[in-house]
A and B are shown apart, each in its own frame.
Chain A
Amino acid sequence: MTAQQIIFILIALFTLGSAVMVVTTRNLVHAALWLVSTLFGVAAVYALLNANFIAVVQVVIYIGAIAILFIFAVMLTRKDMRDAGPQINKNWWAGVLVSLLVFGGLVYMLREWSGFTKTASELPPGFDSIGLLGEALVSPNAYVLPFEVASVLLLAALVGAVYVAFNPRAGNSDK
């Protein structure tokens, strides 16, 4: 077993352990913090895959924005944050069953696939994935249209989130 494989196993165990804590912890703030540690693990997986840009963007967007948003949301809905009854619904065993079936089914199907045990080729010397990624995102022959659609989606989500979460009574009280 090479050093890289050992590192991968450590990161994978860390990620999966944190993920299990996310779905089982009773305290939701802790669940959100475990999500942060899962996201760090996933960023480390990207780094192992030589996708530096994606790894850093993972930290910037997921941890810097999304996880913080989750922590805020948990605190703003504080009444049910702690120990208000069971955190898991009574059909949880069905959830376990379905998850195990999905996992088993995915692994079973992938075992038949020819590329399952393939190892990655060495990166060419001087390979710059960021430049290629930037070109792919804005090139008309590649992905400029999905990229623009994604930005329109973000704008729509921004407006929609403000509209939905805006409290008209609180907004008018100080006018």
Chain B
Amino acid sequence: MSFWNDPLKVAADWLEGVFTGWGMNADAAHVLVAFLGVFLLIAILMVIDIFLVWVERKVVARFQDRLGPNRVGPFGLIQPFADIIKLIIKEDTTPGNADKVVYNLAPILSMMSVLILWAVVPLAPVMLGTDLNVGALFLIAAGAIGTLSIIMAGWASNNKFALIGGFRQVAVMVSFEIPMLTVLMIPVIFAESMNMNAIIAAQSTWYFLISPLGALIFLVAAIAELGRAPFDLAEGESELVSGFNIEYSGMKFGMFYAGELLHAFTFGGFWAILFFGGYRFLGLEQVSPFLAILILIIKAMLGYWVIMWVKYTMMRIRIDQMLAFNWKFLTPLAFALLLVTALMNALLASAPAWLYTLGMILANIVTGWIAIEIARSATRSEREHIEGGKKPAEAHH
């Protein structure tokens, strides 16, 4: 077993040897090495996070036909560091009558809810935080902590805009969790496991190919969970100033901001893991774990890019429309899709691979088509209902 095949284990064994060589208890050395591993992962993520600021600003600039940051360093690459210095030296304000402890705890929880997700992300076949057998549910559990941090920030700020923003965001997150949890079960059905590594190992064909509709619903629900446009009602600059983080300044705001960016990148990664084969690409992941990490990061970046693409080309929708969209369209569709997928999976269990794939795609298309037809006829009748009274007056124009 060489360093290039299993770098983590080799490094951990070596470090444990060093620590026990210093006369440390074997158990204590094990715990210390695990702790160092966590620390290393978080440090790498934070460095990625810094450059995500640059990526986000560069991409939005391209979408809006601008150049983006290009003054500080080559291609503006040093810009995020300048931003960080600015955030750190800014005055750290706390509103009067704010609930100090809860107010200061909220940004930490927000960041934590994102970082904790990486505990179950398999970076390579042999490199992963913990091989949890409930990985898919863990995703939702970490989202629960994020929800909590937002309601805490909104309430503790002692500001009505913050509270309204927090309420909205929590209503959105709690309701969009349902379709997300439902479509998460689709890869679980295919892989017959909730373990992330097992889900990747079972994807000899990408699950996007056999459940495109599931992948799409997951993306929509993920964007809603992130609170990004078109679902960024919590921020709603035009009506709520900035939403739940209005009172935060300096690095505390920076933690919300960095947390949001990393969250988007993380969901890009989960989209890749659940529906696009994770670190697998043409067998290249077998060559070296480092190549596998590179593949996963590229796929996560592509997912992140799709999320940004949606954000910068769609307009914000109204909160009641959004909740109605979830409860009346997305949730029933997710339930129907889960039922259809489970049924087809059982029916086609013994069919050859091409028939299985074809049947699954057809089932997805038919489910999506029926859902869209139902939604279309419902909205059409609603429009007639609203415009019915006005029509004679408008006919003369």
A56–B138 touching, CB < 8 Å: yes
Cβ of A75 under 8 Å from chain B:
yes
Q: Which residues of A have CB within 8 Å of B138?
A: 56
Partner of A64, one of B99, B102, B141, B163: B141
* 9-residue interface stretch from A15-23, A65-73, A87-95: A65-73
Q: Which residues of A have CB within 8 Å of B134?
A: 52-53, 56, 130
The B136-165 residues at the A interface (CB cut-off 8 A) are 137-138, 140-141, 143-145, 147-148, 151-152, 155, 163
CA distance A30 to B100 in the complex (A): 12
CA distance A163 to B137 in the complex (A): 31
Q: Which residues of B have CB within 8 Å of A65?
A: 144, 174
Q: Which residues of B have CB within 8 Å of A67?
A: 148
User: In the assembled complex, how far is the CB of residue A129 from the closest CB belonging to chain B, in whole angstroms?
Assistant: 8
The A20-72 residues at the B interface (CB cut-off 8 A) are 29-30, 33, 36, 52-53, 56-57, 59-60, 63-65, 67-68, 71-72
Q: Which residues of A have CB within 8 Å of B132?
A: 52
Residue of B nearest to A128 (CB): B133
Given A63-B144, A64-B177, A68-B174, does the pair A56, B137 have CB atoms closer than 8 Å? yes
Q: Which residues of A have CB within 8 Å of B155?
A: 29, 71, 75
Given A29-B155, A68-B151, does the pair A130, B174 have CB atoms closer than 8 Å? no
A60–B152 touching, CB < 8 Å: no
In this complex, the interface size class of chain A, counting residues with CB under 8 Å from chain B, is 20 to 34
Q: Which residues of B have CB within 8 Å of A3?
A: 27
Q: Which residues of A have CB within 8 Å of B170?
A: 68, 72
Cβ of B194 under 8 Å from chain A:
yes
The B343-371 residues at the A interface (CB cut-off 8 A) are none
User: In the assembled complex, how far is the CB of residue B27 from the closest CB belonging to chain A, in whole angstroms?
Assistant: 7
Q: Which residues of A have CB within 8 Å of B143?
A: 64
- Bitwise interface map of B from 170 to 195 toward A, beta carbon under 8 Å scored 1, else 0: 10001001000100000000000010
CA distance A59 to B181 in the complex (A): 14
Which residues of B come within 8 Å of A, CB atoms? 27, 99, 102, 132-134, 137-138, 140-141, 143-145, 147-148, 151-152, 155, 163, 167, 170, 174, 177, 181, 194
Please name the 5 residue pairs, one residue from A and one from B, whose CB atoms are nearest each other, closest first. Answer: A64-B144, A59-B141, A56-B137, A56-B134, A63-B144
